[in-house]
Amino acid sequence: MDMILGIDEVGRGPWAGPLVVGAVVLGTHDIEGLTDSKKLSKKKRDALDILIREKASGFGLGWVDANELDEIGLAAALRVATIRAVEQVTSSYTEIIIDGTINFLKETTKGSYVTTFPKADLLIPSVSAASIIAKVARDNYMALQDTIYPGYGFVSHVGYGTAVHRQAIEQLGVTPLHRLSFAPLAKYKPRDASMKKTTKQIGDTAESKAEQYLRAQGHDILERNWKTRFCEIDIVSLKDMTFYFSEVKYRKMLVHGSGLEAVTVKKQQQMKFAAEYYAASHKLIGVDMRLVAMAVSGTPPIVDSYLELE
């Protein structure tokens, strides 16, 4: 029984399009033909993608688009996409194997369960499966973009810096899909003359990242920075008829400690009071409510941890 959570990424090197990380637990099912997605024909990949989605115990895909990648950098994007993929896997597993040499989950609670394994997509079936679903998803996405941005040939080169792609950029310019942080496209990046951000601006940006994260998980955002003279709540959201009250803690660098360390017992009591006060002031009776702590770090900020409190 393969209870390994296999992880692999697709789209690290293209000049355009998203970075996608696949995560798969195969479970009890054997699927013949699994290997590195790059060694398979499109027809074979598409067929295996269907089988994996039908038979795997669990799978997830983590996406980082070109704009976010430009903001946070490739290294952080790989970490964020991996975290997003793993968060979608609800089935159980006994270990995690990431293709390559870097543990992108190192700074999460799952980091100690990870083994990094170069060429794992050739040898570990669940990692091969992760490689396949990520590549099929990304290729399909880029094929769709070919109809939105005709003339670039995205359906054929899927964003890589081929001669055809380079010529199209020279003739047509760049699109929102293009990674302007990549050296060959740096000349197309607008000049930023903005001043250094204030502490409040950085905090607002951190909360905006937390809001984006919640929206991606299916939350409807009801309030940002809800305040009274007695209490305040960073974000109030609603998902599946449950109200979530999120406290966002920001750290510029993880070496200074996770933001979750600031969510002490006293702070949790304050959060509970604020949630109950919000419910009373909005006449919410008998509703499900949950407290959430979110850790955000880096410049620009990214969400590191999401924790529902007891």
pLDDT in tens, 41-82: 999 999 999 999 999 999 999 999 998 999 899 999 999 999
Identify the pLDDT of residue 256: 43
Of all residues in the chain, the percent with pLDDT exceeding 70 is: 92
Q: Is the pLDDT reported for residue 232 higher than 80?
A: yes
Residues 141 and 25 in one domain: yes
DSSP state string for 88-116: T--S--SEEEEESS--TTTTSTTGGGEEE
Identify the pLDDT of residue 170: 93
CB of 57 closer than 8 Å to CB of 28: yes
The count of domains in the chain is: 2
Give the residues across from 14 on adjacent strands: none
CB of 81 closer than 8 Å to CB of 61: no
Identify the pLDDT of residue 254: 46
68: CATH: 3.30.420.10
Query: Side by side, which strands form the sheet with 19-27?
Result: 58-64, 19-27, 2-10, 95-99, 114-117
Print the domain residue range for 255: 199-308
Q: What is the pLDDT of residues 130-189, one digit of tens each?
A: 999 999 999 999 999 988 899 999 999 999 999 999 999 999 999 999 999 999 999 998
N- to C-terminal Cα distance for the chain?
Answer: 34
How far is the C-alpha of 51 from the C-alpha of 208, rounded, in Å? Answer: 38
Q: Is the pLDDT reported for residue 253 higher than 70?
A: no
Identify the pLDDT of residue 301: 72
Instruction: Confirm whether 205 is domain-assigned.
Output: yes
Q: Is the pLDDT reported for residue 1 higher than 60?
A: no
Confidence of residue 28 (pLDDT cuts 50, 70, 90): confident
Bridge pairing between strands 19-27 and 114-117? unpaired
Identify the pLDDT of residue 257: 47
Whole-number mean pLDDT of the chain? 89
pTM confidence score = 0.65
Ramachandran sector of residue 33 (left: φ over 0; alpha: ψ -120 to 50; beta: rest): left
Residues 128 and 224 in one domain: no
How far is the C-alpha of 191 from the C-alpha of 177, rounded, in Å? Answer: 19
295: CATH: 3.40.1350.10
Ramachandran sector of residue 158 (left: φ over 0; alpha: ψ -120 to 50; beta: rest): left
- Displacement of CA 188 from its chain's centroid (Å): 26
Q: What is the pLDDT of residues 178-223, one digit of tens each?
A: 999 999 999 998 765 444 555 666 677 888 889 989 998 899 999 9
Is the alpha carbon torsion for 26, 30, 31, 32 positive or negative? positive
Q: Which residue has the higher pLDDT, 123 or 262?
A: 123
Instruction: Confirm whether 190 is domain-assigned.
Output: no
Identify the pLDDT of residue 255: 41
Identify the pLDDT of residue 64: 92
Instruction: Confirm whether 69 is domain-assigned.
Output: yes
How far is the C-alpha of 82 from the C-alpha of 46, rounded, in Å? Answer: 22
CB of 296 closer than 8 Å to CB of 107: no
